[in-house]
Amino acid sequence: MKTLKMEKNVLELAESINQDLKASKDMGLLKCGQCGMCTSTCPAARHSDYDPREMVKRVLEGDEEVLRDDIIWNCFYCYTCHSVCPVNNSPCLIIQILRQKSIDDGAGLEKVASFLAYGDSFLEFGIGSIPHDFFDNLLEDFGDGWLDLKLNLDDIRGELGLEGYVLPEKALCEIKDILEKTGFKERLDRIRRFKNEANTM
């Protein structure tokens, strides 16, 4: 009997997205009819070359190159597409999953490297911080009033009758322990190694 040699399953990428922890229940990726509701309501599509309908099409065509396309980093995660899709698909969630795959794959590491300080702060204080790499830009836009707030935050919180926001030591140990065991610390270290190598190049 002749066997038909099939090409690699074209839906492999789409199916792996559907099975991802981030995917919503009954996400209608495979039901996408390319109606374009997503693109017509998308702020990133209105102001840049990003096109959610096109992203879904590429996923359904099994185009793995999409993971290395800079355009996936333009989505705002505003969930507008997610809230209007007639077949319960969610380009917003698909892009979140594609970015995670891109990071796992290595191509996306440069995109998260500048946010490393947020993760470090989380491990130390149980609360993220503004990523240092962008602090000067923010200060330039927000002005000295914002710097005063940063410098006098404890006094202002006191004025408002609020206690400190840093967690007690025991809670911090728990959070650190949990994040080590979920693999988050290792994830940050991998991003750090990438960042250090990129800086010495």
Partner 1 sequence: MKQIPCKDILLFKSCLVSVEYPGIESSTRYLFDQLGIEYLVDERQSCCTGLGHYYDLFDQFSTTALAARNLAIARETGHKNMAVMCATCYAILKKACQTLEENKEIRDKINNIFEGSGMGQFSYQRGDFDSRSNIFHVAEILYNQKDKISNLSRIDLSSFKMASHHACHYCKAHYADTLGDVRDPQVIDTIIRSCGAQSLEWYDHQRLTCGAGFRQRFTNKDLSLSVTAEKLLSLKEKDVEVLVHMCPNCQMQFDRYQPTIEKILDTEFDIVHLNISQLVALASGADPYRVVGVQTHTVPVEPFLKKLDIDVDLRQKNLERSLVDEERSLVDEERSLVDDGRD
Residue closest to 119 by CA, chosen among 166, 171, 169, 184: 184
Give me the least distance between CB of 58 and partner 1, in Å please: 19
Give me the least distance between CB of 132 and partner 1, in Å please: 11
Q: Which is nearer to partner 1, 4 or 160 (CB)?
A: 160
Give me the least distance between CB of 60 and partner 1, in Å please: 23
Give me the least distance between CB of 17 and partner 1, in Å please: 13
Q: Dihedral sign for Cα 171, 172, 178, 182, please.
A: positive
Q: Which is nearer to partner 1, 13 or 188 (CB)?
A: 188
Give me the least distance between CB of 107 and partner 1, in Å please: 12
DSSP-derived 3-state class of residue 121: helix
42 C-beta neighbours (distance < 10 Å), count: 25
> Are residues 38 and 91 in contact, defined by beta-carbon separation less than 8 angstroms?
yes
Residues 6+ apart with CB under 8 A from 102: 67, 68, 72, 108, 111
Q: Give me the DSSP letters along 181-201.
A: HTTHHHHHHHHHHHHHHHHH-
Q: Which is nearer to partner 1, 76 or 106 (CB)?
A: 76
> Are residues 191 and 116 in contact, defined by beta-carbon separation less than 8 angstroms?
yes
Give me the least distance between CB of 2 and partner 1, in Å please: 40
Q: Which is nearer to partner 1, 61 or 105 (CB)?
A: 105
**Cα 101–Cα 138–Cα 115 angle in degrees, nearest 5:** 25
Q: Which is nearer to partner 1, 44 or 55 (CB)?
A: 44
* Both tokens assigned to 47: 């102001």
Q: Which is nearer to partner 1, 9 or 196 (CB)?
A: 196
